Amino acid sequence: MSCSSRRMRAFKRWMNSQSIEYSNALDLITRQEDQQMYVNALCDIHEGDLIATIPKHSCLTVKSSGARPFIEDFCLEGYIALSVALMYEKSLGQQSPWFGYLQLLPDRNPDVPLLWSLDEIDELLLGTELHKTVKEDKALVYEDWKACIVPFVKSAPIQLNPDYFDLEQYLAAKSLISSRSFQIDDYYGFGMVPLADLFNHKTDGEDVHFTSVSSHSESDTDSSENIENPIDDYQNEDILCQNQNESTTDILEMIMVRDVKAGTEVFNTYGSMGNAALLHRYGFTEPDNPYNIVNIDLELVLQWSSSIFSRRHTRSRLSMWKKLHLCEFPGQQIDYFEISSDGEPEVELLKLIFIILLPEKAYNEFDRSKVALISDKKGIILSEISETNKKLLLTERVQGALLSLAGIRESCYGLRSMEDDVEALKACPFTNRKLYHSLVLRICERRILKKLRAYAYAGVRHLNVCNGSTSTLRKKFRKR
């Protein structure tokens, strides 16, 4: 019997000891090539079938861990507290009540970019939405470890083996928590949920819902809350601190939300996330993910503006846009603008570009009246422009600016062209997961930028047809 089959058998025995029950229609599989686990249907399973029940006390959380009193005394919270609980239980080895579960898990999830080396991050994530974020994450994790974990180990009232709490172990715990934890309820907060964490994710195509059944709800009738989405806001202390006294229910249920044929995989969903978020938290991407986005940083727009106009011009237009924005959305600061998966820029980006490009006379007029001229005859009130009528702002100059911005954003990916990336992906074995998923991310982001260019060009073409001035415009854009 292979090592992975032995571990799976031990896990099944442990589940039995914890009263975790699951349907005999489920096959828990470990793929030999890469040791990835997943769940298959052994026979047809139908919508509405209850396929598993998991007592909450079997989940590894801060509340259930033996380290709870020390964690609470030390006032650790959120993901730091759960990491300590996980490292503590691992340090106990066979003495831990979760040994049968922990022995099945990998030591860490090496696909999560937090665990990549700085060289890998620079090489594989250059230009992507994750490049800066992951570098910042790494620095923050080190600071957290130094500021919280080291003093905790030194001052804990019981002897802890520091080898199980070093930086490596903390990073390993963080990668597991990031990719395998679920929000349980207000009492338990979030934690590791055995069995539920063997299901892989499929965007908008899940087969099963993971649910907390409440038998003591306010209405005194049974109610259920879908907790399919593993704690997107797991650092939200408000949620974790509510109702500290008791858990309203004892079990979690997994219920089928569609039919699955025998022999096929049963998928959960981790939520509606683009590839950057999936790679960041779970270490994988999907080829056609409708939630992909690309951001254009405000900094980049200012860089573009300063390359054409004086600094004074850029500063005063920026502050006008900020004033207008804060009037509409008090307290909401914008540092970047989203480009959706179909290449549409968010309206605030168009407004900012529009204001930057207003000729001096029109700008002064706009400053007085808040009505901006979009042509000799037509004026618009900028605050009345929303996502639905934003195309009104697509003047010829705004479209030109969008093309320039798409070009500047594209240059962040370095010297390798999109075609190079596509070729590299074709040649990349799926088992080289870091390279494979970072290429998918780069390509899907660059496809969005291509669509942004098409969005701008489409407007340009439309205007040319209306104005009958195709050649002049073409020349203008070739020069840029």
Ligand X SMILES: C[S@@+](CC[C@H](N)C(=O)[O-])C[C@H]1O[C@@H](n2cnc3c(N)ncnc32)[C@H](O)[C@@H]1O
Nearer to ligand X, 278 or 358 (CB): 278
Stretch that binds ligand X, among 240-248, 278-286, 380-388, 409-417 (CB under 6 A): 278-286
Residue 126 Cα distances to 122, 131, 230, angstroms: 5, 6, 28
Q: Which residue has the tokens 């090592």?
A: 3
Minimum CB distance to ligand X, residue 109 (Å): 5
State the nearest-atom distance from the C-beta of 285 to ligand X, in Å.
8
Sequence-ordered strand ranges (E) for 334-473 = 336-339, 371-373, 379-381
Q: How far apart are CA 404 and CA 22, in angstroms?
A: 56
Q: Which of 56, 108, 180, 453 binds ligand X (CB under 6 A)?
A: 180
Under the binding rule (CB under 6 A), the answer on residue 292 touching ligand X is no
477 makes contact with ligand X (CB under 6 A): no
Helix (H) or strand (E) holding 323: helix 311-328
CB of 101 to ligand X, least distance (A): 11
Q: ∠ at Cα 171 (165, 173), nearest 5°?
A: 70
Q: Of residues 157-176, which lie at the interface with ligand X (CB under 6 A)?
A: none
- In terms of Cα–Cα distance, which of 71, 69, 73 is closest to 87? 71
DSSP assignment letter at 200: P
401 and 351 Cβ atoms separated by less than 8 Å = no
Q: With the CA atoms of 70, 76, 79 and 83 taken in that order, what torsion angle do they form, in degrees rounded to the nearest 10? A: -30
DSSP-assigned beta bridge partners for residue 421: none
Judged by beta carbon, residue 286 or residue 410, the one nearer ligand X is 286
- Put residue 101 in one of left, alpha, beta given phi > 0 → left and psi -120 to 50 → alpha: alpha
Among 38, 99, 187, 291, binds ligand X (CB under 6 A): 38
Q: Which stretch binds ligand X (CB under 6 A): 34-42, 208-216, 235-243, 439-447?
A: 34-42
By CB under 6 A, name the one of 61, 64, 109, 183 that touches ligand X. Answer: 109
- Residue owning tokens 């019997």: 1
Question: How many of the chain's residues bind ligand X (CB under 6 A)?
Answer: 15
Are 357 and 397 contacting, i.e. CB atoms less than 8 angstroms apart?
A: yes
Residue 181 backbone dihedrals phi, psi, to 5 degrees: -95, 155
Comparing CB distances to ligand X, the nearer of 61 and 109 is: 109
Regarding 197 and contact with ligand X (CB under 6 A), the answer is yes
Mutual angle of helices 433-467 and 396-411, in 10-degree steps: 160
Nearer to ligand X, 305 or 438 (CB): 438
Q: What is the Cα–Cα distance from 476 to 473, expressed in whole angstroms?
A: 5
Q: Please choose, out of 32-40, 54-62, 256-264, 399-407, the segment that lies near ligand X by the rule CB under 6 A.
A: 32-40
Site for ligand X in 79-108 (CB under 6 A): none
Least distance from ligand X to the Cβ atom of residue 55, Å? 19
Quote the DSSP letter at residue 392: G
Distance CA 279, CA 261 (A): 29
Closer residue to ligand X, CB minimum distance, 276 or 350: 276
CB of 21 to ligand X, least distance (A): 19
Using rule CB under 6 A, residue 111 touches ligand X: yes
Which one, 111 or 410, has the nearer CB to ligand X?
Answer: 111
Q: Compare residues 8 and 80 and give the one whose CB is closer to ligand X.
A: 8
The answer to whether 413 contacts ligand X (rule: CB under 6 A) is no
Indicate the burial class of 364 (C-beta count within 10 angstroms; 0-12, 13-18, 19 or more).
Answer: exposed
The region of 31-39, 122-130, 314-322, 346-354 touching ligand X under the rule CB under 6 A is 31-39
Applying CB under 6 A, among 284, 366, 413, 436 the residue interacting with ligand X is 284
Given 282, 304, 363, 455, the residue binding ligand X (CB under 6 A): 282
Q: Which of 200, 223, 295, 316 binds ligand X (CB under 6 A)?
A: 200
Where does this chain bind ligand X (CB under 6 A)? 36-38, 109, 111, 179-180, 197-198, 200-202, 282-284
